[in-house]
Structure 1
Amino acid sequence: MSKTPSPCIDVCKFKREGHCIGCSMTKAQKSLFKELKKDKNREAFVEMLRHQQERLGKYSHWAPKYLRKCAKKKVKPISSLKDLA
């Protein structure tokens, strides 16, 4: 089984006060995620990102796309995402 994939859903347009309109990450957060090696750290990052998306709003499209990405890579998604699909 591979590591938790990046929360990026290949939109990469930073139009919401520096946050991507696809996944809500900032450029600094994208760089940080790439540096995370342990899967538990990556899962915690995705969980943090979900809370950020809730706070910012307008990210209901993200969870279904990310779940498809996890399924394609044969990675079990974090449990808090299963209820959002």
Structure 2
Amino acid sequence: MPKLPSPCIGVCKFKRGDHCIGCSMTREQKSLSKLAKKGKARRAMVTLVMAQQAVMGGYRHWDAAYARRCAKKGVEPPERPQPSGTT
């Protein structure tokens, strides 16, 4: 079974309060994502990044770029978590 790719989409410019403008990860989170080798750990990292993007806003371009990376690997990206308080 193919592995879920890293949430990094290759932009890597840290301008939004030390968060990457491409994926929203900090340098520390990028280092941790490289250590996430198992499926559950990778999925948890991607889910964390999606939740972080929802809070920070302005990362909608990431969805399409990450979906393309997943399609190349033949895996489905995780669903974006719903903001709390919505149904």
Task: Settle same-fold status: TM greater than 0.5.
Answer: yes
Two-structure CA RMSD over aligned residues (Å):
1.3
Q: Which runs of 4+ in 1 moved over 2 A?
A: none
Point out where structure 1 has 5 or more consecutive residues left out of the alignment. Answer: none
Specify the code of the residue in structure 2 equivalent to 1:66.
Y
Distance of 1:49 and 1:13 partners within structure 2:
16
The SS at the match of 1:44 is helix
For residues 32-67 of structure 1, what are the alpha-carbon distances to aligned partners after superposition, in whole Å with 9 as ceiling and x for unaligned? 011112111110111111110011111011011100
Distance of 2:79 and 2:23 partners within structure 1:
18
Distance of 1:78 and 1:20 partners within structure 2:
20
Distance of 2:36 and 2:79 partners within structure 1:
20
What are the equivalent positions in structure 2 for 1:11-26 lying under 5 Å apart? 11-26=11-26
Tell me the number of residue pairs that the alignment of Structure 1 and Structure 2 aligns: 81
Distance of 2:15 and 2:53 partners within structure 1:
14
State the identity as a percent: 57
Specify the code of the residue in structure 1 equivalent to 2:73.
K
For residues 4-29 of structure 1, what are the alpha-carbon distances to aligned partners after superposition, in whole Å with 9 as ceiling and x for unaligned? 10111111000001000000000100
Instruction: Return the offset for 1:76.
Output: 2.1
- Between structure 1 and structure 2, the one with the greater Rg is 2
Aligned to 1:68: 68
Distance of 2:54 and 2:47 partners within structure 1:
11
